[in-house]
Amino acid sequence: MHTHRYAVSVVAALVSAFAFFTQGAVAQTTVTSDPPATFTLGNGLKVVVIPDHRTPVVTQMIWYKVGSADETPGKSGLAHFLEHLMFKGTSKHPAGEFSQTVLRVGGNENAFTSTDYTGYFQRVPRDQLGRMMEFEADRMTGLILKDENVLPERDVVLEEYNMRVANNPEARLIEQVMAALYLNHPYGRPVIGWHQEIEKLNREDALAFYRRFYAPNNATLVIAGDVDAKDIRPMAERTFGEVAAQPDIPAQRLRPQEPPPIAPRTVTFADARVEQPKLMRYYLVPSATTAAAGESPALDVLAQLMGGGSNSYLYRALVVDQPLAVSASAGYQGTSLDATQFMISASPKPGVEFPQIEQVIDRVISDVAQNTVPAEDLERVKTQLIASAIYAQDNQATLARWYGAALTTGLSIEDIRSWPDRIRAVTAEQVRAAAQKWLDKKRSVTGYLIKDSAPKREEKRS
């Protein structure tokens, strides 16, 4: 049985998995380096080739432009459920053959689901790439699902839900905060789904979703590693090029959008297992795709300035200057097709109440929103952001992930490559304006994680 456990299935996991997008975000920073080669096959499949000749290894990633925000209402968790089922085999390659082949050649593989995309990848010796392309192209449309595979896999997903969400108080709080933040947009649904809806997902649901969204014209193939772009095109034509396009897929994904936020909300989640209380505040803000020019990099810089490391304003104010908290951080999730989140979190010290923490957070925000950020602070955080993006380029899979995530959420290769230049160009005035406009409490949900001291009735898990 395939035991892939990289599936990004709760928002908490999503945020941590892409924390580097906030830290060093979507960027190929050595702008002097050659851009990746790109081409589109006749059936609409976009291909991106990122040469990296340091080791004789190659990473193949296929990104489908479909995630949990594209599910039919009432069938939450379907995108992630199908991700699991994609390992159940085809008529050409029975269940297990693909995974066993990857292991046998000394490679590794995995899959992940997010709000906006679903991805599958293998990292193998370069001479195995052709086989990997053949396997992946085959399961793009050749998946065979039988009830005897589907129903046990649904139980695996329910077990994953119990492990990742039901037994994780922080994940439960994030689930509730997201549901409160998005009044109308499907980002308010958990990627893994709501338990009572996962329980009802079946073979027909999975197949209908698969036939609707899995097609070359709804996918991006990213090949990173010891390859030459000129060799990839004929290989891609021979494998993926044979798969027919799906003409019903719309050119753009249009989801219900959020109304302007008018009321700050709070959510309290109490659980007996909580050892460390936590405050989380999420603001609804534009993503790199939806923001006006300059706004998204300003939010990147603002997040780093306020909560990126021990020199940040929130950390200094809450942990160093007057020790009210054991930790404090901020982040911005820029890689998103629609409106996204700016996140602040802090864990109070014993005996410190949430209002004391919030007072300091509000003061730091109001200070940044009203005053010009000192030039040396601005330079420091820009340098940190750009440096972390440069270091991250040493990882072939990370590079492939940057490109895949960005391209499936509406950005271009040029957007990715020019990110460091846009960070460098952010002015103190843009940072101040971003704080004033977007960190408005009306746009926020504040979540409180507290220890529940009352005796707890067990939640019924049917």
Angle, CA of 374, 379 and 381, to the nearest 5°: 100
What is the per-residue burial (b if ≥16 Cβ within 10 Å, else e) of 181-214?
Answer: bbeebbbbbbbbbbbebbeebebebbbebbeebb
Q: Which residue is catalytic, options 83, 109, 136, 170? A: 83
* Whole-angstrom distance, CA of residue 389 vs CA of residue 22: 10
**What is the DSSP secondary structure assignment for residue 215, as one 8-state letter?**
S
Reading phi first (left if > 0) and then psi (alpha if -120 to 50, else beta), residue 100 is in alpha
DSSP state letters, 113-136:
E-SS-EEEEEEEEGGGHHHHHHHH
Residue pair 434/298 in contact (Cβ under 8 Å)? The answer is yes
User: CB of 71 within 8 A of CB of 79?
Assistant: yes
From residue 312, give the alpha-carbon distance in Å to each of 282, 291, 317, 365: 18, 24, 9, 12
Question: Could you count the other beta carbons within 10 Å of the beta carbon of residue 17?
Answer: 15
Question: Which two structure tokens, joined as six digits, stand for 368?
Answer: 């940044």
Other C-beta atoms lying within 10 Å of the C-beta of residue 244: 11
Tell me the three state secondary structure of residue 94.
strand
Six token digits for residue 248:
């019903």
Eight-class DSSP state of 418: T
C-alpha dihedral (267, 365, 188, 18), degrees to nearest 10: -120
| Strand-strand pairing, 444-451 and 265-271 | parallel
In terms of C-beta density within 10 A (0-12 exposed, 13-18 middle, 19 or more buried), how is residue 179 classed?
middle
The question of whether 83 is a catalytic residue gets the answer yes
Q: Are 11 and 191 in contact (CB under 8 A)?
A: yes
Distance CA 181, CA 267 (A): 10
Catalytic residues: 83
